[in-house]
Structure 1
Amino acid sequence: MQKLCTLFLMLAAAEASAQAFTPVEMVNWKLQAQRVTIVRDTWGVPHITGKTDADAVFGLLYAQCEDDFARVEDNYLTALGRQAEVKGEAALYDDLRQRLFLDSARAVQIYGRSPRWMKDLLHAFADGTNYYLATHPTVRPRLLHRFQPWMPLLFSEGSIGGNVSVVPLERLKAFYSQQKGTSYQAPKPTADRLAFEKAEEEPTGSNGFAIGPSKSASGHPLLLINPHTSFYFRSEVQLTSAAGLNAYGAVTWGQFFIYQGFNEKCGWMHTSSQADSMDEYLETVSQQDGKYFYQYEGKQVPLPTDTLSLVYLKDGQRQRRRFTTYRTPHGPVVGKVGEKWLTVKMMDTPLEALEQSYLRTKAHDYAGFQKVMRLNGNASNNTVFADASGTIAYWHGNFMPRRPAGYDYAQPVDGSTKATEWQGLHKVEELVQVKNPARGFIQNCNSTPFTVSGEGSSPDKKQYPSYMAPDAENYRGINAVRVLSRKKAFTLDTLIAAADDPHLVGFEKLLPSLVRDCQLLLDEPGGTLPPGVEAALPLLRAWNFNYSKTSVAQTLAIYWGERIQRLARPRVPAGQATDYISFTNFVIEHTTPEEKAVALSETIAELKRDFGKWQVPWGEVNRYQRLTGQIDETFDDQQPSRPVAFTSSAWGSLAAFGAHTWPGTKKRYGYVGNSFVAVVEFGPRVVARSVVTGGQASRPDSPHFTDQAPLYCEGQFKDVWFYPEDVQKHVERQYRPGE
């Protein structure tokens, strides 16, 4: 009786906080929590067990909120199109873009027709999050004080983000800022300007490797899981239930499935894809008597409109702006090209996407995994796969519209005719793919699928429509084929070494062009070089193009490479390919010897100015630092940090570490790249190792804030404790949600 009274007092105190939760809800959540066990291992990784899958999901969301509630909330502010309510007017058009494609009213409708098993998971998602808020009254959400079960259905596919984010904001702003009551004056968004801005961004993406039995020292297949995301974007968890769930890997904050990971029988790694799963349409729009019409098959059809009322924060006050929005059956209007209005058509099946994302975690072999893929709910990813039976496989994309021949779908197509309409979807069996290639390995590094297994074992480009795989080759892809081809048999250790191979392929042609052109300048009558260049050239000539914390040549090469690329980028003609390899060739051919030499001299001067000398080892400028754990991290040259040898994937670094200087810093600090990384061997027992960026927790006072940073920065991995008997040997804390 005393325990019961204590329980109700605790519940009443929690309810009395800012959260509006009823006593009945609290009692029900407490009862569900009794069916959940969370074991934190000595790295802080949560191993969550429930009686049912829904119980496990309840515990997962509770544990995620413990580790980083701010990121859970932030992802749903994005999905809801409500970032401007906390970030201000600058986020208004991000919210508009989101709401043009996905809205809460429709998510509620989709929830209503969801199958019972999915509703159970959706309720567990909301209940686990809300129970965390109810039992942690000191946590102050920025906006979301209650989570609803329909919220995960706001994503255009099963992962945070999806395809909506590729719609250019500047084009959207230029169109919708013309309306009365708006004040934004957008620059004209030309195709070459958009391409330039994209080229300036730090590349993201991922690496996935699968090793078949023929190239495995043990005869068991191996899998590398190496997503490149913004740091701390995903956390490491294990999710199990008495109903057969047992998945380990990376979960995005606020989602309730293992996004990239493995179970007892198989593993899956997703890499970002350029497979063309969405199309732009040019709409012929006219105005008659104050109303808009679009043309279709020779007829004038009334253009559907809607009013979106968006709230934003300005000077501490909530303001509201209303937008009149438009759409055709192709999708919402997102801008103009000349006098044509532009609409976007993309995958719009949130339920199927969420079903696929969850069900693939319970697949046990190639056939089962491929069956789940027939839901066609993955629009932005490729998949690298391995299973315990020895099968390795790769699919390029998943949701793939079937298009009529005769049109260039890389460009906007005519929206006034049915001749450009999608003709259903390609079957999974029709996608660009490979299964058990003869060379025994698969790699994808956000590059073309036609080199995934090297020469002779990769898919044949001529057998597929061009829109299925427009992806270019990149330097990571070239390096991956090199390192996977040259070794006869891999172990977990040598697979880790392959994933951290230090060679920077991107400099193999670029840097020799600098050395050659400098020599040309010296060979001229009375030839000289700009200040500092002649002293630096021997270092660059001797460099083996491998990254190292102690390499001065790497520092010179990267600073110079970035500078010469900035010089050349405005010279790229509009519409010309800007992938990394073709752009390197362009830089070599369209910068003069004098410009290359001057860029190196300016690099030397920059290093002297910032560090007092130009002979700066790469590890002194390329640093890992985590100070606050906030979503927008701050960096400080005066605070402790760690040297990192690996670098931007743009240069072919398989282990990716995107870094730059920040306000007030001279050193570069990483913010994107390797996040959750794991290697897995599928034998009679699963054996795996992993590492995350920094640590599991987001609080600086937690022992798991940066406990993995030494491993991460050195390319080392910790053991994964997958089986209960192994977990029990490394328990830091065992508890139930709410305790």
Structure 2
Amino acid sequence: MKKILLLLVCSIGAFAQINTSEIQIARDKWGVPHIFAKTDAQVAYGLAWAHAEDDFETIQLTVLAGKGMLGQYKGKAGAPIDYVVGLLRTKETAKQHLNDLSPDFRKVVEGYVAGLNAYALAHPKEVFIKKAFPANVEDYLSSVVLSLAVISGADAEIQKIFNGKIGEPQLPKGSNAFAFSSSKTTDGATYLNINSHQPLEGPVAWYEAHLISEEGWNMLGGLFPGGCTVFHGTNENLGWAHTVNHQDKIDVYKLTMKDATSNEYKFDGKWETLEVRKVPLKVKMGFLKIPIKKKAYWSKYGATIKTDKGIYAIRMGANQDVRGIEQWYRMNKARNFSEFYKAMEMVAIPGFNTIYADNTDTIFYVSNGKIPLRNPNYEWLGVLPGDTSATLWTGFHSFKDLPQYVNPSSGYLYNTNNTVYKASGEKDNLDPKDFDPTMGYEMTDNNRSMRFKELVDGYEKVGFDDFKKIKYDGQYPAKFYFPVDFNVLTRINAQNYPAVKAEIEKLQNWDRKSDIANKGAAMFSAFAYKLNDKYGNTPQVLTESQVVELVAEAKAELLKNFKTTDLTLGEVQNLVRGDKALALPGLPDVLAAMYTVPYKNGVRKGAAGESYIQLVKFKKGKMPEIESVINYGASNRKGSPHYDDQMELFLNQKTKKMTLDKGEIIKNAERVYSPK
């Protein structure tokens, strides 16, 4: 095979040399890329190339966002992201903290960026904005900082400030993770469920890849477009799952200004001046790119926003550190619990619950977060006074401060975005009184957490089939645990409401399951989305009349679109990919969750929820047994045989067998090649 030597001039002035003939990309029967090379940097190059083959379009959106160039492609839709890049100073963070990366990981990033640049050079017709490439390491780190800030909730806080809705709750995000130790399993193995609920497509949709080098990297799992390492999955010895957590990662401050037109604000009794920068934006308007300059402000607290209701600043850890992506890499390469724990002690990933299991029968859970060390004399969940150093934190909690569990006596750990203080058997659960209250950990349960407990409490021990039944369960618990409480529905006398009597009774008699043949589920789907449209996520208890009104609106919607309310769930919601539309199970906040959006003719289509799933069985001294599935397929390119070839598996709650064994992969690969 002909050798190709790519010399990439990086932002640091050095040269990264990648011999692509030493990189192998093996595509299995499902199109999943297994990338083999001598060095980790070469593997990262191969990952960039393989992922670009499958989804260069979405990867480019990540690159453009990090460079502050999204408006040049997306127009008005992209310009706000470009402004946020300037507002949060992600480029400056990348530049200032570049040397915080360890030398070995820096080579990995250089290899990944080299792979993207090589693909762009080889496929110029696929490039959206010519000036976007070549990208450099600082561009890449800017996109990482931006992504972690957004995942931490920065975009939501900024939007609420601009909309004058500061302090309103955010829509909850999903994901499930649980682990069972040998004391809870019938076969003495350790089980791990990796089951994040993400958008089914777009910048934070999962991509499955397997990375293996001669430097000790052998990891299979999920990552997002632009990821140079696996974010959660399994290596030869251990694995972990992430779920979104809701501790207090971001603080909002209201500044005291000298007058209505001044940039001077009070701080510790003195007047300080806001830093003002003009963020250059180029916005695509038809065939033109219109240059715009918008002011971005910075105070001692950080990014600052002027509105007609006041001047606000936001402060968080996510845009103060570039090492989050390196922490994931260290987790990938950990060989045992001690090494994994050491990687977690970096506390560079700004959030996410992490549930871990390994082949020595260790299970572990931490509600991770880059959480500030705060003055206990203030109410940190509200808007803070922005005129004093007493609210200007400068440090973060160490990893040991965070709520965490190791090998509970119950033999299991779980999280479904519920409170960290309910994660195991009752006697093993942590006491919130033992933790700093300013960390702001959530205290509530949800439908998934309550249903998980209903199920697991029914087993003295679980077999792997039982484990799957729990994971794929689609039933609500005995009582609904939505933020908006509509449990009065179960107590309504339907006879009092003849216009919706049949629909109320259908909901009351419903078995609370979400299979495609379920008629109660179809009615509930219409009800639930009317509920969300009208009341959002603001905690409140609905009255009988409010619930009846929602039932009537749901009935009207179904009659308008289908001429009947006698429908199955599979008739009202589909999994859609190109021209392929198949009946879709699942409802919001069941364990096998699915969230849908309007599609056509009244039918809704899956938008988020169940997506990449990996189920793992660990046994001491053996390679892990791994099963996985993704909602569509390995490729995002129309015309690829792997564009939609996992849909039936996904919908039938089946999986494909996966392996970490290189020899077996090469033996059964449909294609093995090097990047060209």
TM-score, with length taken from structure 1: 0.84
Equivalent residue for 1:707? 645
Equivalent residue for 2:593? 656
1:129 aligns with 2:116: yes
1:261 aligns with 2:236: no
Equivalent residue for 1:346? 317
Give per-residue Cα distances to partners, 1:414-448, cap 9 Å, x unaligned.
22222223262222111111111111111111111
Equivalent residue for 1:514? 489
1:490 aligns with 2:457: no
The alpha carbon displacement at 1:134 in A equals 2.6
Equivalent residue for 1:219? 188
1:728 aligns with 2:666: yes
3-state secondary structure, aligned to 2:408:
coil
Return the alpha-carbon distance in structure 1 between the equivalents of residues 567 and 22 of structure 2: 56
Given that 2:420 and 2:442 are in contact with CA atoms closer than 8 Å, whether structure 1 keeps it comes out as: no
Return the alpha-carbon distance in structure 2 between the equivalents of residues 211 and 364 of structure 1: 20
The alpha carbon displacement at 1:411 in A equals 1.0
The alpha carbon displacement at 1:342 in A equals 3.0
Structure 1 residues 362-511: aligned runs within 5 Å: 362-422=333-393, 424-468=395-439, 469-505=441-477, 508=480
Return the alpha-carbon distance in structure 2 between the equivalents of residues 108 and 419 of structure 1: 29
Equivalent residue for 1:91? 78
Given that 1:21 and 1:134 are in contact with CA atoms closer than 8 Å, whether structure 2 keeps it comes out as: no
Structure 1 residues 565-576: aligned runs within 5 Å: 566-568=533-535
Give per-residue Cα distances to partners, 1:57-99, cap 9 Å, x unaligned.
1111010001100011112222333221111124322321222
Structure 1 residue runs of 5 or longer lacking an equivalent are 23-27, 175-187, 523-527, 570-577, 628-638
**Larger Rg: 1 or 2?**
1
Residue in structure 2 matching 1:42, options 29, 43, 61 = 29
Give per-residue Cα distances to partners, 1:543-597, cap 9 Å, x unaligned.
221112111111112212333454556xxxxxxxx56xx54xx12xx342xx433
Return the alpha-carbon distance in structure 1 between the equivalents of residues 427 and 34 of structure 2: 42
Given that 1:503 and 1:546 are in contact with CA atoms closer than 8 Å, whether structure 2 keeps it comes out as: yes
Return the alpha-carbon distance in structure 2 between the equivalents of residues 489 and 285 of structure 1: 62
1:673 aligns with 2:609: yes
Structure 1 residues 40-79: aligned runs within 5 Å: 40-79=27-66
3-state secondary structure, aligned to 1:332:
strand
Equivalent residue for 2:550? 599
Query: Which piece of structure 1 moves more, 302-311 or 535-544?
Result: 535-544
1:120 aligns with 2:136: no
Distance 1:399 1:113, change over 3 A: closer
Distance 1:296 1:599, change over 3 A: closer
Return the alpha-carbon distance in structure 1 between the equivalents of residues 56 and 580 of structure 2: 26
Equivalent residue for 1:301? 272
Return the alpha-carbon distance in structure 2 between the equivalents of residues 164 and 544 of structure 1: 36
Give, as a single letter, the amino acid of the residue that structure 2 aligns with 1:648: P
3-state secondary structure, aligned to 2:374:
coil
3-state secondary structure, aligned to 1:348:
helix
Residue in structure 2 matching 1:689, options 610, 619, 627 = 627
Residue in structure 2 matching 1:310, options 281, 284, 287 = 281
The alpha carbon displacement at 1:277 in A equals 2.1
Given that 2:474 and 2:587 are in contact with CA atoms closer than 8 Å, whether structure 1 keeps it comes out as: no
Given that 2:23 and 2:46 are in contact with CA atoms closer than 8 Å, whether structure 1 keeps it comes out as: yes
Return the alpha-carbon distance in structure 2 between the equivalents of residues 736 and 604 of structure 1: 57
Return the alpha-carbon distance in structure 2 between the equivalents of residues 247 and 235 of structure 1: 13
Distance 1:300 1:515, change over 3 A: closer
Return the alpha-carbon distance in structure 1 between the equivalents of residues 64 and 73 of structure 2: 9
The alpha carbon displacement at 1:614 in A equals 1.4
Given that 2:8 and 2:114 are in contact with CA atoms closer than 8 Å, whether structure 1 keeps it comes out as: no
Give, as a single letter, the amino acid of the residue that structure 2 aligns with 1:612: K
Distance 1:97 1:441, change over 3 A: same
Return the alpha-carbon distance in structure 1 between the equivalents of residues 376 and 517 of structure 2: 54
Give per-residue Cα distances to partners, 1:171-193, cap 9 Å, x unaligned.
55x4xxxxxxxxxxxxx52347x
Equivalent residue for 2:566? 615
Give, as a single letter, the amino acid of the residue that structure 1 aligns with 2:669: V
Give per-residue Cα distances to partners, 1:108-132, cap 9 Å, x unaligned.
4433564321221121011111222
What RMSD over aligned residues (CA atoms) do the two structures have, in Å? 2.7
Structure 2 residue runs of 5 or longer lacking an equivalent are 10-14
Given that 1:552 and 1:615 are in contact with CA atoms closer than 8 Å, whether structure 2 keeps it comes out as: yes
Query: Which piece of structure 1 moves more, 548-557 or 538-547?
Result: 538-547
The alpha carbon displacement at 1:338 in A equals 4.6
Give, as a single letter, the amino acid of the residue that structure 2 aligns with 1:77: L
Distance 1:619 1:403, change over 3 A: same
Given that 1:239 and 1:247 are in contact with CA atoms closer than 8 Å, whether structure 2 keeps it comes out as: yes
Return the alpha-carbon distance in structure 1 between the equivalents of residues 252 and 486 of structure 2: 39
Equivalent residue for 1:183? none
The alpha carbon displacement at 1:227 in A equals 1.0
Give per-residue Cα distances to partners, 1:639-661, cap 9 Å, x unaligned.
54111121222xxx111211121
Return the alpha-carbon distance in structure 2 between the equivalents of residues 339 and 699 of structure 1: 46
Return the alpha-carbon distance in structure 2 between the equivalents of residues 96 and 600 of structure 1: 42
Percent identity reads 24
Give, as a single letter, the amino acid of the residue that structure 2 aligns with 1:101: L
Given that 2:323 and 2:349 are in contact with CA atoms closer than 8 Å, whether structure 1 keeps it comes out as: no
Residue in structure 1 matching 2:581, options 641, 662, 673 = 641
TM-score, with length taken from structure 2: 0.91
Residue in structure 2 matching 1:247, options 199, 216, 219 = 219
Query: Which piece of structure 1 moves more, 556-565 or 308-317?
Result: 556-565
The alpha carbon displacement at 1:477 in A equals 1.5
Return the alpha-carbon distance in structure 2 between the equivalents of residues 538 and 306 of structure 1: 60
Give, as a single letter, the amino acid of the residue that structure 2 aligns with 1:546: K
3-state secondary structure, aligned to 2:465:
helix
Given that 2:347 and 2:368 are in contact with CA atoms closer than 8 Å, whether structure 1 keeps it comes out as: no
Given that 2:372 and 2:394 are in contact with CA atoms closer than 8 Å, whether structure 1 keeps it comes out as: yes
Given that 2:72 and 2:129 are in contact with CA atoms closer than 8 Å, whether structure 1 keeps it comes out as: no
The alpha carbon displacement at 1:170 in A equals 3.7
Given that 1:508 and 1:545 are in contact with CA atoms closer than 8 Å, whether structure 2 keeps it comes out as: no
Give, as a single letter, the amino acid of the residue that structure 1 aligns with 2:191: L
Query: Which piece of structure 1 moves more, 30-39 or 547-556?
Result: 30-39
Equivalent residue for 1:539? 506
Return the alpha-carbon distance in structure 2 between the equivalents of residues 354 and 568 of structure 1: 37
Query: Which piece of structure 1 moves more, 126-135 or 481-490?
Result: 481-490
Give, as a single letter, the amino acid of the residue that structure 2 aligns with 1:725: G
Return the alpha-carbon distance in structure 2 between the equivalents of residues 692 and 66 of structure 1: 18
Return the alpha-carbon distance in structure 1 between the equivalents of residues 631 and 46 of structure 2: 23
Given that 2:421 and 2:431 are in contact with CA atoms closer than 8 Å, whether structure 1 keeps it comes out as: yes
Return the alpha-carbon distance in structure 1 between the equivalents of residues 50 and 573 of structure 2: 33
Give, as a single letter, the amino acid of the residue that structure 2 aligns with 1:149: V
Give per-residue Cα distances to partners, 1:608-634, cap 9 Å, x unaligned.
32123210011111110100xxxxxxx
Given that 2:571 and 2:603 are in contact with CA atoms closer than 8 Å, whether structure 1 keeps it comes out as: yes
The alpha carbon displacement at 1:476 in A equals 1.3
Return the alpha-carbon distance in structure 2 between the equivalents of residues 626 and 68 of structure 1: 15
Aligned pair count reads 660
Give, as a single letter, the amino acid of the residue that structure 1 aligns with 2:493: C
Distance 1:309 1:538, change over 3 A: closer
Given that 1:625 and 1:640 are in contact with CA atoms closer than 8 Å, whether structure 2 keeps it comes out as: yes
Equivalent residue for 2:497? 529
Equivalent residue for 1:145? 133
3-state secondary structure, aligned to 1:156:
helix
Return the alpha-carbon distance in structure 2 between the equivalents of residues 426 and 311 of structure 1: 40
Give, as a single letter, the amino acid of the residue that structure 2 aligns with 1:529: Y
Return the alpha-carbon distance in structure 2 between the equivalents of residues 612 and 395 of structure 1: 50
Given that 1:208 and 1:271 are in contact with CA atoms closer than 8 Å, whether structure 2 keeps it comes out as: yes
Return the alpha-carbon distance in structure 2 between the equivalents of residues 591 and 538 of structure 1: 14
Equivalent residue for 1:177? none
The alpha carbon displacement at 1:727 in A equals 1.4
Distance 1:317 1:565, change over 3 A: closer
